[in-house]
Structure 1
Amino acid sequence: MRTRTCRVIAVLFVGLMTMSVSACGGDGHAGTDSFAVGLLLPGRSVHRWEHSDKPLIEKRLKELCPRCTMEYANAENDAMRQRQQMMSMIIKGVRVLILDAADTRALRSSIQEAHKAGVPVVAYDRLAEGPISGFVSFDGAQVGRLQGEALLEAMGDKAKGGNVVMMNGDPTSPNAAWFRNGALSVITGKVKIARSYDTVGWSTENAHANMSAAMAALGPDGIGGILAANDAIAAGVISALKSARVGELPPITGQDADLDAVQRIIKGEQYMTVYKPFGKEAAAAAAMAVALGRGEDLRDVATTTIDSPTTKHIPSVLLTPSAVTVGNIQQTLVDGGVYTIDQICTRELRPACDKAGLAR
């Protein structure tokens, strides 16, 4: 009897909290400039989340709404943990959530709960399922096309009939399929896709294991190019190739313009990466969150709409990525203010930087 009573009290407590949150997120607060925005990021395996996206979103949020505050949580690639973090933020009274889902399907029910509580959700970088209010990301198909085009260019005459290994992203992320399909639209029929692997958690370690399996199946010399979905995966691929003492590395793609990846490009270990101006993405997400917190329409922020498997006509901002190779690091990343020459060009890399034309 006591256990049952405790359960009833717990249910009533959660219900009351939800009602309270719903009231806080409702129209009664429209137009006010003192509210909390929750930011939920998926993990730390991708360098950009903690080092770029979080500080950029927080900075822009403060610029747009000086009296607003930000609650932050990182899911460590655990969807259940992210669900708990999301519910905790709703109970605390955040008025808007910016969510980069660790697993877009697994978070659907939590997004539905947020919707019921009157807390709008902006899907960030990955298109989450459920009743989201806005979406900010980059054109994933274009990311894949840039990778595919660069790989074909790097392979040159060896592309025809050459073996390519696809090192895809995490299968729980819709972006992984978006990138892969974009790349396939370019390389299908022009190369032989000898092996294709999914990389759970976008993990460097899992990419290393998958690359080792590809070399065991095809032989180190039987791989003409590697389409790695992002820079963390590229790092694992290169690590595996070096462990196998492969002399001349095949062309390898990437994404995110991580500093380590830029340095690998200068050293000739990685052929390219895709730069996505995270500042613009963060700014758009912050603008959406502030507009929703004030009860404003998103049409002044969104530039297009997109459909998810569950929701139609989601107000969206889809930004344009760009390819980075050794020939345009200066123009794209240095002149663009992403990195300084001193950050990129360590003492060890100075001769290679000089050769690449990177000027102080």
Structure 2
Amino acid sequence: MLNSIKKNLSKLATGTAMSMLAVGYAAPAMAEDLVVMLLPENVNARWESQDAFFFKKAMAGLAPDAVVEVFNANNDTAAQQRQAEQALTRGAKVLVVIPIDGEAAAVIADQAEEAGVPAIAYDRMMQSANTDFWVQADMFATGAAQAKHVVDRTEKGDTLVLLKGSPTDPNAGVIAAGQMSVLQPLFDSGERVMGYENWTPGWDPAIARRSMEQALTTLNNNVQGVVSSNDGNAGAAIAAMHEQKGLVGNVPVTGLDCTVQALQLILLGEQTQCVWRPFEEMATVTAKVTAALLKGEDATSLTQGTVTNAAEAEIPFVPVDYYEAVGTDGVAYVIEKDLSVSKEAVCDGVASDTDFCKS
């Protein structure tokens, strides 16, 4: 299939629908090597400010003649499918897809296969046998790290709240499975108590906050730890706990992505952990795969084995590492390694009076 990108594709169609959705610039009428990156939503700022930014930056160096366009579906699976269809009609040579819904996005991979176009699943898996590559960190391990962080900071009999991710995001289930690999034996033995758990459709912080408020009401504030699957959920949980006495700063709260807000909350002692993935590395290795595909080259040298997706297909896996940020050392590490995060941004506003920001 990968060699099929050499086939002649239909001439690019002009139109305004995709250019209106483009991130940062209008779409050109024609492109010799058009690469399209499809983002899932704008609830999490990382997609545009980090993943798309670093991907375009890497592509500019690796394939300077290629035209890279980025589109955001704003949590609308039908819109994401339309964007993919339009990209293929216009002659895209490679699709890089961050699916809103891994099952629904299988259609995108299947249509790309029909057009002879490679489809790379970035961060989230497309549950299709026609997915060509998957770029991701070990999300099971990140979930286990979140759970272990809370377990290490709580005691026998303590009650935990689990704020899980979006049920349509294939990563959310893997993260939750990683968490439960640590927590289930403790729940079974009574070492810890499952007080409340809920999914967060669309990773919407407003939904996560309502879940946390419900948990506090149901448990009468008897909460000693929050296993939160990402930073948006963590911030929402902390906001809900601020309305009660004696919880914020005493209840460990985990996260994922290490957003500026999360790093500020860590400096304030309100969020205690976040898992950081090197988005620049993820985007760069994706650009390397993409550039190889544009040249008709074999990109499997960049992979490390395969991963079986829900379609029971073996998908070549391109792995990246992760880092568990805890305390000021963790904040400093992320600032040093993540080019999209600066100390000035972290130390702006609520965190400005912390010792870290004054040093």
Q: Which residue of 1 aligns with 2:6?
A: 26
CA distance, structure 1, for counterparts of residue 40 and residue 158 of structure 2: 36
Classify the secondary structure of the residue corresponding to 1:315. strand
Within a 5 Å distance, the mapping from 1:120-199 to structure 2 comes to 120-130=118-128, 131-155=130-154, 158=155, 160-188=156-184, 189=186, 190-199=191-200
Q: CA deviation at 1:201?
A: 0.3
Q: Which residue of 2 aligns with 1:280?
A: 281
Classify the secondary structure of the residue corresponding to 2:92. coil
Q: Do the aligned partners of 1:298 and 1:315 also contact (CA within 8 Å) in 2?
A: no
Q: 1:43 aligns with which of 19, 25, 41?
A: 41
**Distance change >3 Å, CA 73–CA 337, structure 1 → 2:** closer
Q: Higher helix share goes to which structure?
A: 1
Q: CA deviation at 1:25?
A: 3.5
CA distance, structure 2, for counterparts of residue 349 and residue 108 of structure 1: 43
CA distance, structure 1, for counterparts of residue 272 and residue 86 of structure 2: 43
Within a 5 Å distance, the mapping from 1:1-360 to structure 2 comes to 25-27=5-7, 34-130=32-128, 131-155=130-154, 158=155, 160-188=156-184, 189=186, 190-220=191-221, 222-242=222-242, 244-249=243-248, 250-338=251-339, 339-346=341-348, 348-352=350-354, 354=355, 356=356
Q: Do the aligned partners of 2:241 and 2:247 also contact (CA within 8 Å) in 1?
A: no
**Distance change >3 Å, CA 330–CA 172, structure 1 → 2:** closer
Q: CA deviation at 1:28?
A: 5.9
TM-score (structure 1 length as normaliser)? 0.86
CA shift digits 1:74-122 (9 cap, x unpaired): 0101111100111010001100000000111112123211111111100
CA distance, structure 2, for counterparts of residue 116 and residue 174 of structure 1: 24
Classify the secondary structure of the residue corresponding to 1:271. coil
TM-score (structure 2 length as normaliser)? 0.86
Runs of 4+ in 1 over 4 A off after TM superposition: none
CA shift digits 1:197-229 (9 cap, x unpaired): 000000111101111111121112x11111110
Give the aligned residue type for 1:206: I
**Aligned Cα root-mean-square deviation (Å):** 2.1
CA distance, structure 2, for counterparts of residue 128 and residue 44 of structure 1: 19
CA distance, structure 2, for counterparts of residue 122 and residue 104 of structure 1: 12
Classify the secondary structure of the residue corresponding to 2:113. helix
Q: Do the aligned partners of 1:303 and 1:316 also contact (CA within 8 Å) in 2?
A: yes
Q: Do the aligned partners of 1:291 and 1:297 also contact (CA within 8 Å) in 2?
A: yes
Q: CA deviation at 1:330?
A: 5.0
Q: CA deviation at 1:23?
A: 12
In structure 2, stretches of 5+ residues that fail to align are: 10-30
Please say which structure displays the higher CA radius of gyration. 1
In structure 1, stretches of 5+ residues that fail to align are: 1-21
Q: Do the aligned partners of 1:148 and 1:183 also contact (CA within 8 Å) in 2?
A: yes
Q: Which residue of 1 aligns with 2:23?
A: none
Q: Do the aligned partners of 2:3 and 2:296 also contact (CA within 8 Å) in 1?
A: no
Q: Do the aligned partners of 1:341 and 1:359 also contact (CA within 8 Å) in 2?
A: no
